[in-house]
């Protein structure tokens, strides 16, 4: 349980919790709204355990309380900026929702490694040499098939912070810097480091239904409306958040001049237009996949998203053409002679 402190930097946790839930309801994706609401509730319940003895509640030390509240404020800032149209925070929210990073990614990775052998067994199967690397099955049939599919795909070549998946094995030299045989402890550490780095590069597949829904959002077949925001307390329908007195001050003039920028730049939010949201969904969809078992061929099939969906717009408005502009010319645009 988090108690109130004397430090002014520690706010009321209930206020932060309610603000987080309010921002979750404004996210422009229904899956993101559901995921982040459950995530916020889970995190607050985890750090607010019920005391075994009612008269002696369990309290965190003030240092830990401050760190937890600062983490909650950072999450609140992320959601606020995402709802205001900043591209990087909104893309991060979608990546956390669809398993590109964070808790959802670890859950999907755990599902992918259900039939994989234990970690100690995998490390024993790794041969401490690149040339002598075993060519047989090391990680299990499902994980092995997905690793090969991701290695053959384009995932990791266009995204920032994601490298091309490599299955060459750990680079373990036979001798150390003193030309002595490599100690077994160092060999074990190199294997563990390579295996941990391999797991960080894996982009686990989504369930097929969720992958199909994300594809429909990326190409414009499916659509979701924005959630209208609630008015602030004490405001009527005709009142707004606009404060003319603030713009007459020097700071207000400076702030208003900063807003005269191109929408969607690094320092200014983007309007949550249909095209903007579709491009974000397509960016996430390009690195997501789903995995199914082919009954006839008896092997795992992995289907990846494509980057071409960003240009596949199905709801472009058709503009009326003025055919009179093309009178007197042929199909190639040359003037037809009247002689």
* Whether the Cβ atoms of residue 148 and residue 300 lie closer than 8 Å to each other: no
Position 27 scores a pLDDT of 95
* Whether the Cβ atoms of residue 17 and residue 196 lie closer than 8 Å to each other: no
Position 8 scores a pLDDT of 41
Position 243 scores a pLDDT of 45
Position 240 scores a pLDDT of 46
Please tell me what DSSP assigns to residue 165: P
Position 313 scores a pLDDT of 47
- How many Å apart are CA 170 and CA 195, to the nearest integer? 8
- Calculate ∠ Cα 14-20-21, nearest 5°: 90
The alpha-helical segments, DSSP class H, found in the chain are: 13-24, 30-46, 62-84, 87-97, 102-112, 119-125, 141-152, 184-201, 208-219, 244-248, 250-258, 274-285
CA atoms within 13 A on the CB side of 188: 7
Position 130 scores a pLDDT of 40
Per-residue confidence in pLDDT tens, the chain, 339 aa = 444 444 444 478 889 999 999 999 999 999 999 999 999 999 998 887 666 666 655 677 888 888 999 999 999 999 999 999 999 999 999 999 999 999 999 999 999 998 888 888 888 887 654 434 444 578 888 888 898 888 888 765 545 445 566 777 788 888 888 889 889 899 899 889 988 988 988 999 999 999 999 999 999 898 888 998 887 666 665 554 444 444 444 454 445 444 444 455 556 788 999 999 999 999 999 989 999 999 998 899 999 987 655 555 444 444 455 566 667 777 777 777 765
Which one, of 203, 176, 233, lies nearest residue 105 by Cα?
A: 203
For tokens 């959601």, the residue is 79
Strand partners, 293: 300
Contacts of 195 (CB under 8 A, 6+ apart): 119, 122, 123, 126
Produce one character per residue of 201-226: b if its CB has 16 or more CB atoms within 10 Å, e if not. Answer: bbbbbbeeebbebbbebbbbeeeeee
Sequence-separated contacts (24+) of 43-52 with Cβ below 8 Å = 43/72, 44/13, 44/17, 47/2, 48/1, 48/2, 48/13, 49/1, 51/1
């Amino acid at each position: 349980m988090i108690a109130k402190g004397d430090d002014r930097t520690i706010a009321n946790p209930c206020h932060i919790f309610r603000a987080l839930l309010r921002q979750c309801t404004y996210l422009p994706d229904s899956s993101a709204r559901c995921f982040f609401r459950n995530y916020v509730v889970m995190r607050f319940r985890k750090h607010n355990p019920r005391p075994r003895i009612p008269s002696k509640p369990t309290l965190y030390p003030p240092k830990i309380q401050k760190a937890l509240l600062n983490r909650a404020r950072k999450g609140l800032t992320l959601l606020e900026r995402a709802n205001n149209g900043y591209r990087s925070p909104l893309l991060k929210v979608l990546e956390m929702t669809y398993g590109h990073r964070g808790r959802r990614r670890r859950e999907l990775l755990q599902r992918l490694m259900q039939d994989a052998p234990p970690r100690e067994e995998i490390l024993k199967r790794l041969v401490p040499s690149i040339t002598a690397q075993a060519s047989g099955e090391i990680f299990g049939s499902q994980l092995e098939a997905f690793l090969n599919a991701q290695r053959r795909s384009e995932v990791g070549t266009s995204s920032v912070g994601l490298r091309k998946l490599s299955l060459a094995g750990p680079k373990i030299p036979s001798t150390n810097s003193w030309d002595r045989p490599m100690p077994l402890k160092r060999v074990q550490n190199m294997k563990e480091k390579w295996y941990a780095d391999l797991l960080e590069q894996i982009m686990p597949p989504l369930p097929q239904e969720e992958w199909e829904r994300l594809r429909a959002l990326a190409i414009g077949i499916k659509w979701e409306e924005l959630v209208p925001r609630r008015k602030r307390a004490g405001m009527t329908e005709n009142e707004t958040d606009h404060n003319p007195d603030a713009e007459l001050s020097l700071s207000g003039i400076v702030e208003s001049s900063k807003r005269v920028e191109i929408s969607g730049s690094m320092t200014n939010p983007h309007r949550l237009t249909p095209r903007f949201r579709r491009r974000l969904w397509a960016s996430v969809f390009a690195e997501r996949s789903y995995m199914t078992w082919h009954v006839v061929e008896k092997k795992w099939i992995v289907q990846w998203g494509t980057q071409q969906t960003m240009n596949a717009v199905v709801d472009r408005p058709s503009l009326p053409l003025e055919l009179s502009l093309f009178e007197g010319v042929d199909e190639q645009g040359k003037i037809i002679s009247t002689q």
